A and B are shown apart, each in its own frame.
Chain A
Amino acid sequence: MKENNFSSVLKSVQKPGRYIGGEYNSVMKDKRDVKCRFAFAFPDTYEIGMSNLGVRILYDVINKDKDVWCERVYAPWTDMKEKMEQYSVPLTAVESGDPLSAFDMVAFSLQYELCYTTVLSMIKLAGFPIWARERGEECPIIIGGGPCVYNAEPVAEFFDLINIGEGEEVLLEICRLYIKMKEEGRYSRTDFLREASHIEGVYIPSLYDVSYNEDGTIKEYRSLYDDVPAKIRKRIIADMDKAPYPEKLVMPYIETVHDRIVLEVYRGCIRGCRFCQAGMVYRPIREKSPETLCKQARCLFDNTGYDEISLISLSISDYSELPKLTDDLLSWTDDAHVSLSLPSLRIDSFSEELMQKVSSVRTGGITFAPEAGTQRLRDVINKNVTEEDLMRSVGIAFRGGKSNVKLYFMNGLPTETLEDIEGIAALSKKVIDEYFLLPKQQRPRGIGVTISVACFVPKPFTPFQWEKQDSFDTLLEKQAHLKSCITDKRIRYTYHDAKVSLIEAVLARGDRRLAPAIAYAVEVGATFDAWDEYFDYDRWISSFEKAGVDPAFYTTRGFGLDEILPWDIIDIGVTKAFLRRERDKAYEGKTTPSCAEHCSGCGANKLGGKNRWCK
């Protein structure tokens, strides 16, 4: 997309800066000097893809290998896609501007289920067959990875290879194997995939056969050959202090969603909220030392010039050395006019001291996630925070000058009753009351509470993986009931579209029989489903019908406790027995202490990894 004769097209689309490349710190190599060309594809816009931490890390790791050149690919927005189709311009990579057919590997990062249609439309735009089985030797190896592949089954047959777990080591091992087989003259697509299946963390969907019972449940997963593992164990990075981390970031010219330094503080989570997939699949917890983090932060500031550092993890206040880390960073960031932000604060650990350290003067707001409206339900989901925690935290926030509080909740959690829903309204009202308890001179101006309510999606690899999802009508009733309970005008109520959550649940919990439905949806124009303006519920329902899929089978039915689940062939470390124990405790209303307090024997310790908590 760099020739003059494409300039008229660029001038005719929105935000042409998305398509040009040429960013500072982007990696250019001479394609004649490399043995493997790797395209890292993100199935969403440039602005979203450029903000993704995983892509930033892997781009850096892969490019450190001199034999491999990793480039980036993003989904063209619909206006550009239309023009590309009209003028027969194939999908290209940002750095070289070469079409994807010039690459050896194309790896997609699957961050959310609703990106699946965008993945397929990108594969089509590149000119490749969407089904892995129809691809010949001339096609690049198409790889999937990221959080969604812990249950990749609905899209498994679109990928030649799937990377389960953290990719820093596996992706390079895959490239090295590819280069080796090519050099030894024994490369063929099938031989390569067979041999790659021996690498831990690699799942080759075509090497497995699935059969089903008459009632539609799964009968058996069988690997086709003895040397292909029956279960695929996820890969982890053992020592986060030794793991490569980018020293430079590609600097976007146009504004991206997270346009700042992102410092990954640790992986995993000590908490174990029972609805949370990330809290289970990223175990065991592995921290970086404050020394490593300070070095990385300073280096990234020098190489980027950003004025904000965001400390990222699933729950930043659980980092065991947070005071030391923030003090060390603050020793230079103020003078450098750099601010710190902590996006994942827990209510029970929020303090005045912490708020002052991160007093990002830019925003007048703060966000907390109680998730449920009553203590009973918060115990069921193992959130382990109390109303007192919330009142103490918002009090500190108000006294610190924050006047806008945002609260995240969920509807449709297991055992939820109308009382729990009324609790959401009551809790929000108490936050307002807390504001007025303050002496007038201590109150910031203009109190506002926003409550944002998502619909519960029972995710694979959580204690709630067997649960039913509420029906569409039930969710609507619950949303309406909550609305009727909110009388205070200072409370703003927003909620997720239940239709979107229903489709999400089907895609998250589905098996291989969903693939034709996804392919149909793409055939009739589905793409960018994660964008409200392109999500089309009716199109999904008619695609399911055409493929003979009943969405209720994956949502309101719930899964039997003895049923073989589509994701049972993946081993995330955490055992099914632990998830089952946690489910039973949920129904008893019993909480489980965090890893820092007590080891509950989840099983993730068998994966190894240098960490403070696991026995």
Chain B
Amino acid sequence: MVQVNNQQLKIRVKFKKVGRLQYISHLDLVRTMNKIIVRAGLPLWYTEGFNPKPKMVFAAPLSIGTESKTEYMDIRLSEYIEPEVVKSKLNENMTDEMQVLDAYYPETKFTDLKWLSYTFVIKTEGADALLVERCGAALAEEELWVLKSTKSGEAMVDIRPLVRSAVCVLDGDLLRINAHLSADPSSFLNPEYIIKLLRGKCGILSNGDLTSEWYSIMRERAYLDDMTEFR
């Protein structure tokens, strides 16, 4: 149990954010979560100063358009309460598409989280065995150059070191990719870059008809650097 100091206890909440909630930005998630934890009536620790606020910290913020079964948030409490109680109180105040899966007093830091696995499901014109093979080959190349936005504008970056693995399969008329991507804050890889890369190299999702082609991205699990599960 992490006793931050005499007044504060840090509890970790693992939650999912799926379905329609993929369209809610990280900033809006923070605002929403603020109200949820207040509604839940938890013994919250408030920041000191002019404008006291409950303290929440999130690991690896999601971008719009990605769902997740493995989000983490640390909340500061002013007194000990059973993790199960935290979980059930929060869940009563959330909708089906956002639910707490686990709550515990953590032993790791968010900076220990190094890798995240994702499932991509892609509905694209011409999804066949050949396309799967081409996508697999494209992701297996020794260098993966994409135009990436960085602090100083856009630049071509080799994301190879940030893609630990990527496997493509054909699932009916859908293209399915499982990938492990970097979650390290200094080299976080937004999974949208995988789509961008394959769009450029293999021409997926480019027939221009937004209703016949689509893709979804699900964040599945979180890992430490040795690929054991992050907790």
A contacts, CB < 8 Å to B: 2, 4-12, 16-17, 19-24, 83, 87, 251, 253-255, 259, 302-307, 337, 361-362
| Contact in complex: A22, B21 (CB < 8 Å) | yes
What are 30 A-B interface contacts by the 8 Å CB criterion? Answer: A6-B211, A7-B214, A7-B215, A8-B205, A8-B210, A8-B211, A11-B64, A16-B23, A17-B23, A19-B23, A20-B20, A20-B24, A22-B19, A23-B95, A24-B94, A87-B211, A254-B24, A255-B28, A255-B31, A259-B31, A302-B39, A303-B39, A305-B34, A305-B37, A305-B93, A306-B35, A307-B34, A337-B52, A361-B50, A362-B51
| Contact in complex: A337, B21 (CB < 8 Å) | no
| Contact in complex: B212, A7 (CB < 8 Å) | no
Contacting A at CB under 8 A, from B19-73, are 19-21, 23-25, 28-29, 31-32, 34-40, 46, 50-53, 64-65
| Contact in complex: B24, A5 (CB < 8 Å) | no
Contacting A at CB under 8 A, from B170-222, are 205, 210-216
Min Cβ gap A4→B in Å is 6
Contacts of A259 in B (CB 8 A): 31
Return the chain A residue nearest B27 by Cβ: A255
How far apart sit A357 and B40, CA to CA, in the bound complex (Å)? 27
How far apart sit A5 and B173, CA to CA, in the bound complex (Å)? 14
How far apart sit A476 and B31, CA to CA, in the bound complex (Å)? 43
Question: In the complex where A4-B214, A305-B38 touch, is A251 in contact with B32 (Cβ < 8 A)?
Answer: yes
Min Cβ gap B122→A in Å is 11
Query: B14 within 8 Å of A by Cβ?
Result: no
How far apart sit A87 and B24, CA to CA, in the bound complex (Å)? 24
| Contact in complex: A305, B19 (CB < 8 Å) | no
How far apart sit A4 and B23, CA to CA, in the bound complex (Å)? 13
How far apart sit A456 and B214, CA to CA, in the bound complex (Å)? 51
Question: In the complex where A8-B210, A361-B50 touch, is A254 in contact with B28 (Cβ < 8 A)?
Answer: yes
Contacts of B216 in A (CB 8 A): 4, 7
How far apart sit A24 and B99, CA to CA, in the bound complex (Å)? 12
Contacts of A253 in B (CB 8 A): 21, 24, 28-29, 32
How far apart sit A150 and B65, CA to CA, in the bound complex (Å)? 44
| Contact in complex: B25, A24 (CB < 8 Å) | no
Contacts of A302 in B (CB 8 A): 39
Contacts of A20 in B (CB 8 A): 20-21, 23-24
Contacts of B123 in A (CB 8 A): 4-5
Query: B225 within 8 Å of A by Cβ?
Result: no
Contacts of A304 in B (CB 8 A): 35, 39
| Contact in complex: A17, B25 (CB < 8 Å) | yes
Contacts of B51 in A (CB 8 A): 361-362
Contacts of B29 in A (CB 8 A): 253
How far apart sit A19 and B23, CA to CA, in the bound complex (Å)? 9
B contact residues, total (Cβ < 8 Å): 37
Return the chain A residue nearest B37 by Cβ: A305
Return the chain B residue nearest A10 by Cβ: B23
Return the chain B residue nearest A2 by Cβ: B20
Query: B84 within 8 Å of A by Cβ?
Result: no
Min Cβ gap A412→B in Å is 41
How far apart sit A139 and B129, CA to CA, in the bound complex (Å)? 49
Query: B97 within 8 Å of A by Cβ?
Result: yes
Which of A20, A24, A253 has the largest number of chain B CB atoms within 10 A?
A253
Contacts of A2 in B (CB 8 A): 20
Contacts of B210 in A (CB 8 A): 8-9, 12, 83, 87
How far apart sit A22 and B21, CA to CA, in the bound complex (Å)? 8
Contacts of B28 in A (CB 8 A): 17, 253-255
Return the chain B residue nearest A21 by Cβ: B20
The contact of A8 among B34, B39, B52, B214, by CB within 8 Å, is B214
| Contact in complex: A9, B211 (CB < 8 Å) | yes
| Contact in complex: B31, A22 (CB < 8 Å) | no
Return the chain B residue nearest A26 by Cβ: B95
Return the chain A residue nearest B96 by Cβ: A22
The contact of A24 among B37, B46, B50, B95, by CB within 8 Å, is B95
The contact of B39 among A4, A5, A7, A305, by CB within 8 Å, is A305
| Contact in complex: B212, A5 (CB < 8 Å) | yes
Min Cβ gap A431→B in Å is 26
How far apart sit A19 and B19, CA to CA, in the bound complex (Å)? 13
The contact of B36 among A21, A255, A305, by CB within 8 Å, is A305
Contacts of B95 in A (CB 8 A): 22-24
How far apart sit A257 and B37, CA to CA, in the bound complex (Å)? 22
Contacts of B215 in A (CB 8 A): 7-8
How far apart sit A307 and B53, CA to CA, in the bound complex (Å)? 10
- Give the 5 A-B CB pairs with smallest separation, nearest first: A305-B35, A305-B38, A305-B39, A16-B23, A20-B20
Return the chain B residue nearest A1 by Cβ: B20
Return the chain A residue nearest B93 by Cβ: A24
Contacts of B35 in A (CB 8 A): 251, 304-306
How far apart sit A83 and B25, CA to CA, in the bound complex (Å)? 21
Min Cβ gap B37→A in Å is 8
Contacting A at CB under 8 A, from B70-109, are 93-95, 97
Min Cβ gap A35→B in Å is 27
Min Cβ gap B49→A in Å is 10
| Contact in complex: A5, B214 (CB < 8 Å) | yes
How far apart sit A378 and B216, CA to CA, in the bound complex (Å)? 61
Contacts of B64 in A (CB 8 A): 11, 16
Return the chain A residue nearest B46 by Cβ: A337
How far apart sit A2 and B123, CA to CA, in the bound complex (Å)? 16
| Contact in complex: B65, A11 (CB < 8 Å) | yes
Min Cβ gap B125→A in Å is 13
Return the chain B residue nearest A6 by Cβ: B211
Contacts of B34 in A (CB 8 A): 305, 307
Add 8 more A-B contacts to A4-B123, A10-B23, A305-B39 (CB < 8 A).
A5-B214, A8-B210, A8-B215, A253-B29, A254-B24, A255-B28, A302-B39, A304-B39
Contacts of B52 in A (CB 8 A): 337
